[in-house]
């Protein structure tokens, strides 16, 4: 390393065996040929001015852009700095590796990239994210050149970069452990095309790692809120439905029978033994038959443990196993004198029929739905089936 | 409530007919409506997990009935819509609600012992709209009629789309 070479100082724990560092390097492949050190106007980075707002941007260079000006940067051991990456704490909020965010009292770590406040804008303040095509090669070359002139000491490190805006943030997020264990930056060259261009790594990998996590997090949060609200309805309904019923029903009768004796009640029961009484209209095979004064034994639906009740004076009954709704007067001896009876499920097969048919309905929904939609395993979401 | 198959078929019929007039209603959204039509039937979860069991476990009063109400449909549809890709969610929510409301209306037509359709509009109101007492779910004729009408709509829709884009099939 030459005297006047600038240095990108990086911060990492001294624990050489940290597997995370090796992993990330393998994954990301520090294929940056050079690090042009560019200046960033604070406003571009985080939109407000602050001493700590400087940020480093790692831009991939093509040889052609800086002929004869290799910007080889080696990491060299640095003394522990007092400000070990203090500026990063606020810059890199989302997924900065804990390595860098270690508390200040852990003086055993060194700065990966030291952040220095920017001196001022170097690019027009258009406030837009600079894309690959928008990169002003002159600007980049200029600041790199300035850097190369060795104006700064080797400890000056990276200056804030200009015009990279959001790219800068993403880039930083992806930079965990860029230095391999041998304290050497990878020098893989990655040249594709002429001129300067932002590394494609600034665009692709983090797009899947960063914002989508936020989106999925919000999705999960919203889902949680909706389910919580729905649960609130379940509880609220359970708590207040009784008071809004015109008549006491199964629950109240099963829990406090005596309190409702003499009142008009509305019950739903499963018929145990329908018997015709007087009219001779047989209702064992009843078809919602019209007995004039039928009696049946029922079990309160949902409260089978309460035992049986007798319904007298029913004008209609259902077959054994069927279901009836009854409005009538609750008597003392577990009897209801019916005013109206509605055989909801007149036959014993009525309820199984409804469930069987409903299962067919559910299958129909699934078949129809997945004919048009598919599960995208990447986003864990239903997406339109293109071949549907 | 009407059985799930009838709910689904009614939603299919209504929104397939709508798709003939309204461009945004396409087959892929008709199936979402059909799914939404099942939301009120989610109250049948009680068969699997009785509300009394939940009450005993949590110590709170509990009822699945809100699934069969407007509020439950809106919230459940929201939760289900989140399963869709981001750009589809709003529309999915709308069509799911449409399907759920369709089923609530269908349920409001059935026979009721007290002449009321139940708390369909909860939590806006506990008031139950008057029921026209049109049918009994357990009556197979209800499904029979629904099936026939749905089949007619299906055939007409097929014929129509074949004419429209000359698709073989």
Q: Model confidence over B25-73: pLDDT tens digits?
A: 999 999 999 999 999 999 999 888 988 899 999 999 999 999 999 999 9
Of the listed ranges A184-188, A252-256, A351-355, the least confidently predicted one is A184-188
Q: Could you tell me which residues come within 8 angstroms of residue A299 by beta carbon, excluding any fewer than 6 positions away?
A: A269, A270, A272, A306, A307, A308, A309
Report whether the peptide linkage leading into residue A142 is cis, meaning its omega lies within 30 degrees of zero.
Answer: no
* Per-residue pLDDT at A290: 52
Task: Determine the residue among B16, B30, B75 to mutate to test chain A binding: the one whose Cβ has the most chain A Cβ atoms within 10 Å.
Answer: B75
When pLDDT is cut at 50, 70 and 90, the band that residue B167 belongs to is: low
CB-based contact A43:A121 (threshold 8 Å):
yes
DSSP β-bridge partners for residue A324: A269, A343
Closest C-alpha to B30, from B20, B44, B39: B20
* Per-residue pLDDT at A174: 38
Q: Using CA atoms, how far apart are residues A337 and A264, in angstroms rounded to an integer?
A: 9
* Per-residue pLDDT at B148: 97
Q: Give the pair of three-digit tokens for residue A176.
A: 């965990």
The per-residue pLDDT for range A287-315, each reduced to its tens digit, is 444 556 788 899 998 888 888 899 988 88
Closest C-alpha to A75, from A7, A29, A28: A7
pLDDT, greater one: A211 or B87: B87
Q: Using CA atoms, how far apart are residues B40 and B103, in angstroms rounded to an integer?
A: 7
* Per-residue pLDDT at A243: 85
Residues of B within 8 A of A388 (CB-CB) are 28
CB-based contact B40:B98 (threshold 8 Å):
no
Q: Which of residues 28-87 of B touch A (CB under 8 A)?
A: 28, 31-32, 34-35, 38, 41, 44, 47, 50-52, 55, 60-66, 69, 71-72, 75-76, 78-79, 82-86
Closest C-alpha to A171, from A72, A34, A45, A7: A45
* Per-residue pLDDT at B168: 54
Residues of B within 8 A of A381 (CB-CB) are 83-86
Q: Using CA atoms, how far apart are residues A118 and A51, in angstroms rounded to an integer?
A: 8
Q: Could you tell me which residues come within 8 angstroms of residue B141 by beta carbon, excluding any fewer than 6 positions away?
A: none
B6 to chain A: closest CA residue: A361
CB-based contact B164:B24 (threshold 8 Å):
no
pLDDT at A25 over 90: no
For chain B, the average pLDDT equals 92
Give the Cα-Cα-Cα angle A290, A291, A296 (nearest 5 degrees).
115
CB-based contact A130:A7 (threshold 8 Å):
no
Q: Which of residues 258-277 of A touch B (CB under 8 A)?
A: 266
pLDDT at A64 over 70: no
A352 touches chain B (CB under 8 A): no
Of the listed ranges A55-59, A296-300, B28-32, B142-146, the least confidently predicted one is A55-59
Q: Can you give chain A as a three-state secondary structure string?
A: CCCCCCCCCCEEECCCCCHHHHHHHHHHCCCCCCCCCCCCCHHHHCCCCCHHHCCECCCCCCHHHHCCCCCCCCCCCCCCCCCCCHHHHHHCCCCCCCCCCCCCCCCCEEECCCCCCCCCCCCCCCCCCCCHHHCCHHHHHHHHHHHHCCCCCCCCCCCECCCCHHHHHHHHHCCCCCCCCCCCCCCCCCCCCCCCCCCHHHCCHHHHHCHHHHHHHHHHHHHHHHHHHHHHHHHHHHHHHHHHCCCCCHHHHHHCCHHHCCCEEEEEEEEEEEECCCCCCCCCCCCCCCCCCEEEEEEECCCHHHCEEEEEEECCCCCCCCEEEEEEEEECCCEEEEEEEEEEECCCCHHHHHHHHHHHHHHHHHHHHHHHEEEECCCCEEEECCCC
Q: Using CA atoms, how far apart are residues A312 and A347, in angstroms rounded to an integer?
A: 19
Most confident of A139-148, A160-169, A293-302, A354-363: A354-363
> Which residue among B75, B82, B126 places its CB closest to the CB of A244?
B126
A358 touches chain B (CB under 8 A): yes
Span A185-200, mean pLDDT?
Answer: 42
pLDDT, greater one: A9 or A135: A9
CA dist list (Å): B61 to A34, A243, A251, B39, B169? 66, 13, 11, 22, 54
When pLDDT is cut at 50, 70 and 90, the band that residue A277 belongs to is: low
CA dist list (Å): A382 to A152, A173, A214, B76, B80? 54, 29, 19, 16, 10
Span A273-296, mean pLDDT?
Answer: 56
When pLDDT is cut at 50, 70 and 90, the band that residue A211 belongs to is: low
CB-based contact A54:A118 (threshold 8 Å):
yes
Q: Using CA atoms, how far apart are residues A59 and A198, in angstroms rounded to an integer?
A: 5
pLDDT, greater one: A81 or B38: B38
Q: Using CA atoms, how far apart are residues A380 and B86, in angstroms rounded to an integer?
A: 11
Q: Note the pTM of the prediction, 2 decimals.
A: 0.60
A238 touches chain B (CB under 8 A): yes
* Per-residue pLDDT at A316: 83
* Per-residue pLDDT at A273: 81
The DSSP call for residue B151 is H
Q: Which of residues 95-154 of B touch A (CB under 8 A)?
A: 111-114, 119, 122-123, 126, 136-138, 140, 143
Kindly state the percentage of chain A with pLDDT values over 90: 20
Span A150-166, mean pLDDT?
Answer: 41
What's the complex ipTM? Answer: 0.92
């Amino acid at each position: 390393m030459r005297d006047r070479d600038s240095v990108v100082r990086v911060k990492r724990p001294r624990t050489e065996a940290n597997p995370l560092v090796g992993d990330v390097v393998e994954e990301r492949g520090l294929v940056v040929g050079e690090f042009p050190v560019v200046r960033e106007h604070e406003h571009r980075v985080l939109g407000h001015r602050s001493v700590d707002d400087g940020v480093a941007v790692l831009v991939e260079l093509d040889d052609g852009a800086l002929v004869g000006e290799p910007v080889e940067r080696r990491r060299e051991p640095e003394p522990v700095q007092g400000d070990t990456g203090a500026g990063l704490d606020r810059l890199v909020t989302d997924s900065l590796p804990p390595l860098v965010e270690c508390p200040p009292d852990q003086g055993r770590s060194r700065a990966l990239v030291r952040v220095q406040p920017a001196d001022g804008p170097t690019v027009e303040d258009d406030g837009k994210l600079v894309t690959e095509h928008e990169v002003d090669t002159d600007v980049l070359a200029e600041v790199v050149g300035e850097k190369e002139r060795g104006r700064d000491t080797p400890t000056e490190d990276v200056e804030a970069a200009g015009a990279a805006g959001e790219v800068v943030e993403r880039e930083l997020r992806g930079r965990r452990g860029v230095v391999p264990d041998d304290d050497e930056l990878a020098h893989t060259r990655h040249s594709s095309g002429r001129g300067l261009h932002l590394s494609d790594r600034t665009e692709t990998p983090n797009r899947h790692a960063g914002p989508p996590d936020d989106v999925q997090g919000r999705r999960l949060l919203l889902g949680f809120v909706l389910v919580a609200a729905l649960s609130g309805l379940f509880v609220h309904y359970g708590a207040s439905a009784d008071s809004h019923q015109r008549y006491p029903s199964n629950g109240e009768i099963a829990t406090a029978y005596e309190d409702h004796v003499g009142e008009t009640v509305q019950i739903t029961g499963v018929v145990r033994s329908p018997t015709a009484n007087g009219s001779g209209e047989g209702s064992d095979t009843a078809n919602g038959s019209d007995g004039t004064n039928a009696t049946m034994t029922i079990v309160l639906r949902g409260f089978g443990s309460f035992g049986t009740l007798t319904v007298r004076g029913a004008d209609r009954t259902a077959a054994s196993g069927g279901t009836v709704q009854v409005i009538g007067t609750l008597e003392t001896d577990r009897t209801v004198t019916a005013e109206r009876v509605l055989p909801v499920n007149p036959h014993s097969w009525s309820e199984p029929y409804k469930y069987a048919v409903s299962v067919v309905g559910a299958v129909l929904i699934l078949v129809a739905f997945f004919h048009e939609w598919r599960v995208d395993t990447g986003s864990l979401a239903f997406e339109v089936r293109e071949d549907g | 409530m009407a059985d799930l198959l009838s709910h689904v078929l009614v939603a299919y019929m209504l929104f397939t007919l709508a798709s003939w007039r309204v461009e945004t209603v396409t087959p892929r959204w008709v199936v979402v409506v059909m799914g939404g039509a099942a939301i009120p039937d989610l109250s049948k979860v009680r068969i699997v997990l009785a509300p009394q069991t939940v009450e005993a476990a949590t110590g709170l009063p509990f009822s699945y009935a809100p699934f069969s109400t407007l509020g439950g449909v809106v919230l459940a549809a929201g939760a289900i819509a989140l399963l869709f890709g981001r750009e589809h969610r709003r529309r999915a929510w709308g069509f799911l609600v449409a399907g759920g409301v369709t089923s609530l209306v269908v349920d409001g037509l059935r026979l009721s012992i007290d002449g009321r359709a139940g708390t369909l509009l909860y939590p806006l109101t506990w008031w139950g709209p008057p029921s026209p007492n049109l049918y009994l779910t357990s009556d197979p004729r209800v499904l029979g009629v629904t099936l026939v009408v749905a089949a007619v709509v299906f055939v007409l829709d097929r014929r129509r789309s074949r004419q429209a884009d000359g698709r073989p099939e």
